[in-house]
Amino acid sequence: MLKSKTFLKKTRAGGVMKIVREHYLRDDIGCGAPGCAACDGAHEGPVLEPQPVDPASSLCPQPHYLLPDTNVLLHQIDVLEDPAIRNVIVLQTVLQEVRNRSAPVYKRIRDVTNNQEKHFYTFTNEHHRETYVEQEQGENANDRNDRAIRVAAKWYNEHLKKMSAENHLQVIFITNDKKNKEKAIEEGIPAFTCEEYVKSLTANPELIDRLACLSEEGNEIESGRIIFSEHLPLSKLQQGIKSGTYLQGTFRASRENYLEATVWVHGDPEEDKEIILQGLKNLNRAVHEDIVAVELLPKNQWVAPSSVVLHDEGQNEDDVEKEEERERTLKTAINEKMLKPTGRVVGIIKRNWRPYCGMLSKSDIKESRRHLFTPADRRIPRIRIETRQASALEGRRIIVAIDGWPRNSRYPNGHFVKNLGDVGDKETETEVLLLEHDVPHQPFSQAVLSFLPKMPWSITEKDMKNREDLRHLCVCSVDPPGCTDIDDALHCRELENGNVEVGVHIADVSHFIRPGNALDQESARRGTTVYLCEKRIDMVPELLSSNLCSLRCNVDRLAFSCIWEMNHNAEILKVRFTKSAINSKASLTYAEAQMRIDSAAMNDDITTSLRGLNKLAKILKKRRIEKGALTLSSPEVRFHMDSETHDPIDLQTKELRETNSMVEEFMLLANISVAKKIHEEFSEHALLRKHPAPPPSNYEILVKAAKSKNLEIKTDTAKSLADSLDRADSRTFPYVNTLLRILATRCMMQAVYFCSGMDNDFHHYGLASPIYTHFTSPIRRYADIIVHRLLAVAIGADCTYPELTDKHKLADLCKNLNFRHKMAQYAQRASVAFHTQLFFKSKGIVSEEGYILFVRKNAIVVLIPKYGLEGTVFFEEKDKPKPRLIYDDEIPSLKIEDTVFHIFDKVKVKIMLDSSNLQHQKIRMSLVEPQIPGISISADNPNMDIDEPERKKKKREK
């Protein structure tokens, strides 16, 4: 049966176009209930259970299926995902509405419908002859959809009666819309709100915690005092932004001060405009990363960024007077120049809420169901949730979602989603770390794995098409110990004409990952492999990362080769790129490769090749440094793990050898050569990487630090910085050069991926190279896969596809890659921090020598070279007399009583784990030397309370 709709549309050119939309209706769409004679197995995919044995509902004791409307799906997805909820009919009408309104929820509901154990059935009601409804005159789309859902629910109940008169199978309509529920009951459809139904499942009381509290009025605090001003509706905000009354931007909360935030104004490329917001009422219920509309305050109300550290740790939930008092402490006497444009949030354009990890702060009121949840991320406000299982959740990491933020509530309302496990447990903390940094880490789905090659795999004749056979070459790889995802291998040999041939061979990952398929989409979403201390979250499935793409020794592997002909002075005479097949003759660690180079007894082909590479690498490095490339330093840490418990038993900084540098030089050379080639071929859509030069203000701290040690650092160009760093040496203090390089690293900007057609500045500041890209690590970086595809098209080894030559799509891809890389870095740092805490937990208290990296108003930041560890020594502590502090920003220096501290001064500190705040355990340092009465502690008497939480607990129990 066919329904058709005809309408006329005016085209851009001024013509009139007749559009006919045909809608087919069918009789053969199954209801999803197995054993239904009428449908005769017309259903495909996951189906409902013939006899649902779901948890007994006191409202509906007989067997039943659930049919939710759109709003229930959108807002109560956490309930629907619970294993207790099964046998749910998802209508096409509902699914389409959800798809239009929330992509993340749509993805979650698709995952649930694909889970066979959940028995969720998607019913195509819009194409079923008996359930299709046409929009009536005067009826809006929303009302039409509500009617369509009721028609489908009624049809289901009548249809199932025919199937099993004796079974009394029912379909229950779940809706939170009061009018829709009333209409359904009038029409004889059993209907309940989500809350009524969930509360009727007496065997599953924990489900109530997962209900999203939606009616803001119902959940407002009884006091009813309005704290915040009303958010303006979207239409008014858009008008205001258009007229320039309001500004649109991203809300960035402060980690240091919960009463302060900044808004980065959109569409202001000349001067990335930043507006400062101070005080609860001006923040007006915005949450970190929300897109907000801001109104600028008059100049006489502008403020300066505060230097006060304020964390929201008060127990009294709604003590607004106290907040106002705290706000006044922010407004210190300040210089006119320090004032920044200041504003207030007038409305929310887009909420960017996500599920948050953290801990429950249990209410002191006995039997209370209302508790505050404290997120692990200090930028997120505390969230009020209702739960009956507070005692069980104390001391555990949990996930909570925000539902809304009423005007008269100090905190947003939310609901409990998931219990992750005990605080401090290694598995739990790793999970928290991955969730908080938005690292995709679920196992690869079947859809993704279905695109992997079938095993056993070998190179076929078809694979060798457009590919050179280089299996005869003496190729070897050099990597860190324990590396299984080997991206790169090298070779070096003398040519008959007296020149040298050097090859960099990179795993040909793009051969296995074809554009647009599920495997490609998942790799693009992940963007990068994330290396934690004891875990690797792969970008591509293990079969590729550790086997078929990994250039292991003595197996044939597909590669993408970059081969240069050089003279003995490392000058490039020719370069060519080719897809190839190689067979690596050795997989070496940096230490093994170094040993071969240094051993006079070894003269085999591999060693000769390594020596040739090493000699050329030294020349290349020297030339690169002469051009102004920077050699910076960061204290990287390596843990030695206990083989049984996998806890860190030793901690030391990583040792770098000549061979690390050798591999790095040829990887840089390959990346630069490939960047030139792809930009030559695709000037508008080459994927490149740039490193912007830092603004001069970034270097102030470095210049001042050097000056305090009578050294001069010049920062006008990368070359002058590199040269002055090389000259900055002190016989009496040899470590000062490393400290300066560590400090210089902190002054740098972030390197980013970009599309060549969307930018004019290609320069890579740190490498002093006019053009650069990433080509050498496609197993662990998605950017390299795109670069491989571009290069393959450039040399005619593969065909192109539309997305590859669309600069806007490429720019979006770069945005995601930059975000994923940044998050991976943060996750890696958090993993090192957690393992460092574990190390000091077992180690107890230790005293070590360190150097001051930064001087603050009331503290010094100390670096411990032995452990590559940084920590802060505070000089103002609660319940202790305040010492006399004089801070000088110019030098910079901090005078405590009669002792003056400068950057790079040597100190001795006591290091220990401070567990007083379970959620934010941290390494705490106290000064031992120099001795300052009342501040320093003796090396023997730590005078520190490590087990603070235990003491607090005992106090409560008394």
Please report whether residue 833 resides in a domain.
no
| Rounded CA separation 3/25 (Å) | 7
| Rounded CA separation 588/552 (Å) | 10
Please report whether residue 430 resides in a domain.
no
Instruction: Encode pLDDT of 629-668 as tens digits.
Output: 887 766 555 555 555 555 565 555 556 677 888 999 999 9
Tell me the pLDDT band of 954, cut-offs 50, 70 and 90: very low
Range of the domain at 294: 212-419
- How many helices (H) and strands (E) the chain has is answered by 24, 37
Q: Are 792 and 510 in contact (CB under 8 A)?
A: yes
Instruction: Encode pLDDT of 800-840 as tens digits.
Output: 888 888 889 999 999 999 999 999 998 988 888 888 888 88
pLDDT surpasses 90 at 560: yes
Cα dihedral sign, 521-525-530-535: negative
The 10 Å Cβ neighbour count of residue 878 is: 5
284 and 407 assigned to the same domain: yes
| Rounded CA separation 924/836 (Å) | 12
Q: Are 85 and 120 in contact (CB under 8 A)?
A: no
Where is average pLDDT lowest: 448-452, 514-518, 651-655, 828-832?
651-655
Cα dihedral sign, 517-518-523-526: positive
75 and 147 assigned to the same domain: yes
630 and 558 assigned to the same domain: yes
Phi, psi of 789 (to 5 degrees): -65, -40
Report the pLDDT value the prediction gives residue 151, as an integer from 0 to 100: 93
Where is average pLDDT lowest: 99-108, 305-314, 333-342, 657-666?
305-314
Report the pLDDT value the prediction gives residue 454, as an integer from 0 to 100: 92
588 and 631 assigned to the same domain: yes
| Rounded CA separation 694/744 (Å) | 11
What residues contact residue 545 under an 8 Å CB cut-off, 6+ apart?
484, 485, 529, 538, 539, 779, 780
Please report whether residue 340 resides in a domain.
yes
Tell me the pLDDT band of 512, cut-offs 50, 70 and 90: very high
Which residue has better confidence, 279 or 46?
A: 279
pLDDT surpasses 60 at 704: yes
Report the pLDDT value the prediction gives residue 952, as an integer from 0 to 100: 37
Instruction: Encode pLDDT of 31-82 as tens digits.
Output: 888 777 777 656 566 678 877 776 677 888 888 899 999 999 988 998 898 8
| Rounded CA separation 574/679 (Å) | 18
174 and 251 assigned to the same domain: no
| Rounded CA separation 305/222 (Å) | 35
Tell me the pLDDT band of 272, cut-offs 50, 70 and 90: low
Please report whether residue 835 resides in a domain.
no
List the alpha helices (DSSP H) in 700-796.
700-708, 718-727, 736-747, 782-794
Q: Are 435 and 357 in contact (CB under 8 A)?
A: yes
User: Which of 195, 229, 259 represents a domain boundary (last residue)?
Assistant: 195
Report the pLDDT value the prediction gives residue 57, as an integer from 0 to 100: 78
pTM of the model: 0.79
Please report whether residue 77 resides in a domain.
yes
pLDDT surpasses 70 at 942: no
Tell me the pLDDT band of 256, cut-offs 50, 70 and 90: confident
Report which of 24, 146, 35, 140 is spatially closest to residue 97, judged by C-alpha positions.
146
Report which of 156, 119, 172 is spatially closest to residue 29, judged by C-alpha positions.
156
Average pLDDT score over residue span 168-189: 90
| Rounded CA separation 427/838 (Å) | 13
68 and 127 assigned to the same domain: yes
pLDDT surpasses 50 at 471: yes
Greatest Cα-to-Cα distance within the chain, rounded to the nearest angstrom: 96
Which residue has better confidence, 126 or 332?
A: 126
Q: Which span out of 366-380, 416-430, 554-568 was modeled with the highest average pLDDT?
A: 554-568
Encoded tokens for 356: 């948050």
User: Which of 163, 195, 227 represents a domain boundary (last residue)?
Assistant: 195
Q: Are 869 and 953 in contact (CB under 8 A)?
A: no
Q: Which residue has the tokens 């599953």?
A: 204
97 and 156 assigned to the same domain: yes
Tell me the pLDDT band of 328, cut-offs 50, 70 and 90: low
Query: Residue 30 is part of a domain; what is its CATH number?
Result: 3.40.50.1010
Please report whether residue 432 resides in a domain.
no
pLDDT surpasses 60 at 321: no
Report the pLDDT value the prediction gives residue 371, as an integer from 0 to 100: 86
Where is average pLDDT lowest: 27-36, 299-308, 542-551, 643-652?
643-652
SS3 826: helix
Q: Are 438 and 823 in contact (CB under 8 A)?
A: yes
| Rounded CA separation 418/428 (Å) | 12
Where is average pLDDT lowest: 602-611, 875-884, 889-898?
875-884
Encoded tokens for 306: 């505060």
Encoded tokens for 566: 């050089």
Tell me the pLDDT band of 159, cut-offs 50, 70 and 90: confident
Q: From its phi and psi, is residue 554 left (phi > 0), alpha (psi between -120 and 50) or beta?
A: left
380 and 529 assigned to the same domain: no
Q: Which span out of 411-425, 546-560, 638-652 was modeled with the highest average pLDDT?
A: 546-560
241 and 326 assigned to the same domain: yes
Tell me the pLDDT band of 951, cut-offs 50, 70 and 90: very low
Report the pLDDT value the prediction gives residue 707, as an integer from 0 to 100: 79
Q: Which residue has the tokens 């999203």?
A: 212
Query: Residue 943 is part of a domain; what is its CATH number?
Result: 2.40.50.140
Where is average pLDDT lowest: 32-36, 441-445, 769-773?
32-36
Report the pLDDT value the prediction gives residue 956, as an integer from 0 to 100: 35
The 10 Å Cβ neighbour count of residue 875 is: 21
DSSP class per residue in 396-443? EEEEEEEEE--TT-SS-EEEEEEEEEETT-HHHHHHHHHHHTT---SP
530 and 585 assigned to the same domain: yes
Chain centre to alpha carbon of residue 478: 30
Q: Are 5 and 23 in contact (CB under 8 A)?
A: yes
Q: Which residue has the tokens 């040399």?
A: 795
Report which of 782, 795, 800, 799 is spatially closest to residue 468, judged by C-alpha positions.
795
| Rounded CA separation 480/732 (Å) | 35
Report the pLDDT value the prediction gives residue 367, as an integer from 0 to 100: 63
Which residue has better confidence, 6 or 788?
A: 788
DSSP character at residue 803: G
Please report whether residue 427 resides in a domain.
no
List the alpha helices (DSSP H) in 599-735.
605-626, 658-681, 700-708, 718-727
Q: What is the mean pLDDT of the chain?
A: 83
The 10 Å Cβ neighbour count of residue 648 is: 25
238 and 363 assigned to the same domain: yes
Counting every residue, how long is the chain?
A: 958
User: Which of 143, 167, 195 represents a domain boundary (last residue)?
Assistant: 195
What residues contact residue 667 under an 8 Å CB cut-off, 6+ apart?
488, 504, 776
Please report whether residue 913 resides in a domain.
yes
Q: Are 685 and 804 in contact (CB under 8 A)?
A: yes
Phi, psi of 305 (to 5 degrees): -55, 135
Where is average pLDDT lowest: 123-127, 383-387, 791-795, 918-922?
918-922
Average pLDDT score over residue span 536-542: 92
pLDDT surpasses 90 at 510: yes
H or E segment and range at residue 639: strand 637-641
DSSP class per residue in 288-336? TT-EEEEEEPPGGG-B------B----S-TT-HHHHHHHHHHH-----G
Report the pLDDT value the prediction gives residue 957, as an integer from 0 to 100: 37
Split into its structural domains, the chain has a count of 4
817 and 909 assigned to the same domain: no
Report the pLDDT value the prediction gives residue 583, as an integer from 0 to 100: 95
What residues contact residue 825 under an 8 Å CB cut-off, 6+ apart?
none
| Rounded CA separation 902/493 (Å) | 53
The 10 Å Cβ neighbour count of residue 832 is: 20
Q: Are 478 and 490 in contact (CB under 8 A)?
A: yes
SS3 assignment for 91-136: EHHHHHHHHHHCHHHHHHHHHHHCCHHHCEEEECHHHECCCCCCCC
Please, which residues bridge with residue 914 across strands? 922
Report the pLDDT value the prediction gives residue 46, as an integer from 0 to 100: 64
DSSP character at residue 471: T
Report the pLDDT value the prediction gives residue 844, as an integer from 0 to 100: 78
pLDDT surpasses 70 at 699: yes
pLDDT surpasses 90 at 792: yes
